[in-house]
Structure 1
C-alpha cells in the first residue's frame, strides 16, 4: 500500500501536498489554542492517498488520525506513522488484541463487546478506547447515561483497557438551521456530565462544527473534508474562515483523434451523432476509474478551453468533442485548472447530483496518485498506487 510505482498509462490524479499542508495550518490557526486536531484519512484519505496525506497533515500540525476500520489503521502503522490513530467504525471483539499490539485506539459502544474483547488482549497490553455516543446520528453509539456510566465503570476496573476518549458525531452541523445540531450537542453534554472521570480526548466536532460552531470544540476535533480544500456543504461555502485550496485534480491525455462526418455516431448505443464535421478525441479514462457514465455531457479542459464529453462513457475510455485538431498527448483536465479555466470537484458533484466527498472517493485505485510538492527549488513529484 502506498508504494512508489511506475505507471504505464496517461491518466493520473494529482495531489498537491502544499495545498494540503496550507489547509491544515489554516484550520489549526482557526481553532482555539491547544485543540487536538485528528485528521480523517479514512477511505484512502477520501481518495487522496492515506500515507502521503497522513504524513503531510501531521507535519502541518495535526495531533492524530482517524480512520474507519482497523485495516486502515494498521496500514498507517506499517508505513511508520506513530501518531495516535482512532478507528471510528466497528471492530470485531476478537481483533482487540491486534489493535492493542499496534497501539491503535478503538471506538466502543457495546457492553458485550468489552466483555468479549478483554480476553483477546495480551496480559502486558492495554487497549485504548473511546466511548461512542449516539446523540442523533442513528448509526452506532450509546444513547443513555446509564449505559455510559456502566461502560466507564468496566473501563476503569480493567487493567487491559484504557479510557482514552468519548465522542459523538453531528448529523446537521453543515446546515444553517442549527436546531437539530443544538439538540445533539446538549445530549452529548448531558452524557458527559454522567461520567465520573474525564478522558484525554473529548470530541464532537467534524469539519463543519469545528469551523462554524465554537461551542462544539471541547478539547479535540476531527477534521475531514476541509483538509482537502472542500466545503462540508454548499451552505457553508460562503462562511469558510480561510481560503480553501482544492488538493486533488484529475488529468488524462489524448490517445487518438479523428474527424467524423455529419451523421456519424460515437459510443455505445450510438448515443451521440455529429451534426457537422467534428474532431473527436479519445482519452484513457472511464467508469472503471470512477469517471462514471452519468458524466456524459460534462465539460473538460483542453488547451485551456471547455469541451464536452460526447457519447457514453466506456469502462476504460471516454470521447471528447474538440473545436479543432489537437496533437496526440495533449493534456485533458477533468478536475482542476488549465489556463484561466477551472473545473471544481463541486461542479462534478453537481453534475452527478451528489456531494464532493463521493467524487474524490469514487476515483478508483487503478488511477495513480501523483504527489506534487515545492522543495524550495522546484517541484518534487512522486507517484503511488494503492495495491
Structure 2
C-alpha cells in the first residue's frame, strides 16, 4: 500500500459500471450516456472512474473545468471531453490543441475566440430555466449561431441545456424547459446549422424521461450509486449501488471517568465511566465539524456516537466496550449487519448526498477495487 495513515476511501469500480449499464439500458435506442466526472469524479477519482467507464462502453466525458479535462488528457484519456463551465477565451487554443470541446453562450466570448485559426468544437448552451449559464435571448442566439457558421475553424458539435427541477416529481418547470429548448433547436435549424449532439437530461432526467429524443444524457451522481434526490428514490426502476466507502482505524483507546471532558471547548462531558476511541480523520479531510452533532461510525458492527468537536485531523467516539488499537472502523459503508450510507449522512446534516463524497479531501488515499480485489491505490500527497 502506498499510504502511511490509517484512513482511506474504497471505490468499487464494478458498482459504478453496473450503475452505468443500468442507466444506459434504460434509455431509448440511440441515446448514449455522457459520464460526468467533474470534481474528481464526485470525489471518487476522475481518471479511475473515466477509464473504467470507457472500458464499459462510455465514449464521451463531461467535466466542469478546462483543468479537469487537461488532467484527463495527460492521464491518457482519449475519448471526447466537454467542459461544461466557462473557459476564458484566451485559453481556447489550449482546448483546441488537446481536442477538448468548449461550452459557448456569450457573443462577446465568441468574437474573441473567432480570431483564432485552430479548429475548435463548441456546444452551445441555452438557459431554459436554470438561470446559471446559457443563452436566454433569441437575438443573441442568432448572432452566435451565425458567427459559428461564418467561421470554418469553429464547429457546432452540440446544443444543450440543464434541468433545474427534474429531481422533483411535481414541477411544471420541467415541461416549460423542454419547450424552450425545443424552440432553440428549431432556431438553430432555421439558421441553417445542424447539431450532431443534443443533450439535456441529467441523472434525474435520464431516469425519469428515458424516451426524450436526444443523442446523450449527462449522468453524474447516479453513476456513483446515489439518487438525485430523496423524492426520486421511489421512482427509480432499478437499484443503484453506492460505490464509495470510507474507513479508518482506532489510534488510541482509553477509559474516562465521570466529569472528564472531550475535545475543544469541552463540549462533551462523561456522565459515567466509559471507553472512548480516537480516529485519525477530521475536517481537513472533509469530515466537517457539523457531522459530530448526529454522527456515528461503525466499530465491530456497533454504531458509536461521535463525542466532542471534530478536530482538524482527528475525532473521538464513545465505544460500547474496550477494543484494541488498530481496530478498523467505518464512517461510510457496511460493517457486519449495519450500514452508514451517504444519504443518511446528508439527511443528518441538512444537505444533499452530492456534497458528502465531494468534500473528502485529496489527502485521504483512494483504494480502487474490481472483482473484490485492490487494483490501484492513489495517494495524492505522495503523488502515487
Residues of 1 paired with 2:213 and 2:219: CA distance? Answer: 11
Give the match for residue 316 of structure 1: 313
| Equivalent in the alignment of 2:359 | 362
Give SS of 1:279's match: strand
Give 1:137's match in structure 2, choosing from 130, 140, 146: 130
What's the TM-score, normalizing by structure 2?
0.96
Q: Which residue of 1 aligns with 2:78?
A: 82
Measure the CA separation in 1 of the matches of 2:158 and 2:212. 15
Query: Hey, what's the Cα distance between the residues in 2 that align with 1:129 and 1:136?
Result: 21
How far, CA to CA, are the matches of 2:139 and 2:215 in structure 1?
24
Runs of 4+ with deviation above 3 angstroms:
214-217
Residues 1:183 and 2:176 are matched in the alignment: yes
Let me know the Cα RMSD of the aligned residues.
1.2
**Which segments of 5 or more consecutive residues in structure 2 lack a partner in the other structure?**
none
Q: Give the total of aligned pairs.
A: 377
Note the C-alpha offset of 1:146: 2.6
Which of 205, 208, 211 is residue 212 of structure 1 equivalent to? 208
2:286 corresponds in structure 1 to 290
Deviations 1:20-67, CA, capped at 9 Å, x for gaps: 111111111111122121111001011000000101112222221000
Asked if structure 2 preserves the Cα contact closer than 8 Å seen for 1:204 and 1:216, the reply is no
Q: Give SS of 2:58's match.
A: coil
Q: Which residue of 1 aligns with 2:235?
A: 239
The alpha carbon displacement at 1:217 in A equals 4.7
| Structure 2 equivalent of residue 155 of structure 1 | 148
**Cα distance in 1, alignment partners of residues 87 and 66 from structure 2:** 7
Aligned counterparts of 2:213 and 2:85: Cα–Cα separation in 1: 21
Partner residue in 1 for 2:374: 380
Within 1, Cα distance between the matches of 2:121 and 2:61?
A: 14
Looking at structure 1, the residues matched to 375 and 56 of structure 2 have their Cα atoms a distance apart, in angstroms, of: 19
Q: Is the 8 A contact 1:204 1:217 kept in 2?
A: no
SS class of match (1:137) = coil
Q: TM-score, normalised by structure 1?
A: 0.95
In the alignment, which residue of structure 2 is the partner of 1:277?
A: 273
Whether the 8 Å contact between 2:284 and 2:312 is mirrored in structure 1 is yes
**What is the Cα deviation at residue 298 of structure 1?**
0.7
**Separation of aligned partners in 1, 2:254 and 2:213:** 57
The yes-or-no answer on 1:201 pairing with 2:197 is yes
Which of 220, 225, 229 lines up with 1:229 in the alignment? 225
Q: Which runs of 5+ in 1 are unaligned?
A: none
For 1:26 and 1:362, how far apart are their aligned partners in 2? 27
